[in-house]
Amino acid sequence: MTTKRAIRSELLAARRRLTPELLKETDAAFADRAARLEELSGAATVAAYVSVGSEPGTRALLEALRARGVRVLLPVLMADDDLDWGEYRGAEHLVAAGRGLLEPDGPRLGPDAVLAAGAVLLPGLAVDGRGLRLGRGGGSYDRVLARLAAHGAHPALVVLLYANEVVARVPEEPHDHPVQAVVTPEGVRRFTASA
């Protein structure tokens, strides 16, 4: 855990150094590359999230998916750190929530709503050559991934990261699930089970 904490601290510090100009530039690149990703554009329903601060930008991507008729589900953090879901109906329907997050203002669909997703866009801080993702450490998405596995759901798992966040190796725990692809402003990298 100490190693994970140190890696997270280093990566978050690097994100804090990103300039507003670079963030704006990379937001467009993330949207362009991710919107063309078959796993996201080909899914009828995508579970995603609203980027905040210096996270890799998702806002333009959310709009692009919605414009194509993709149903986009956004997380709603519950008191126990599990995730409920609501439908994305546009930026004007986002409200401030705890921990500086934004969530949809519409009806709550329940934690199992994610089971309908053909793809899940996961937040993260790093991914390694095996496709293993390092999250922020709250465990919310570990619960989502466990829920998907328990119900036999196999959506495509995709993470958006900056190029320096694709690393040689992240610490692994038994509950970790690999992603199928990482999108950076520079391109897409796919992972296979044997990677």
Binding residues for ATP: 4-8, 133-141
Half-sphere exposure of 169 (CA within 13 A, CB side): 4
Collapsing DSSP to helix, strand or coil, 142 comes out as helix
Burial class (CB in 10 A: 0-12, 13-18, 19+), 81: exposed
Q: Which residues pair with 76 in a beta bridge?
A: 84
- Per the annotation, where are the binding residues for substrate? 50, 55
- Per the annotation, where are the binding residues? 4-8, 50, 55, 133-141
Tell which residue, 76, 71, 122, 63, has the closest CA to residue 103: 76
Token couple for 180: 């199928």
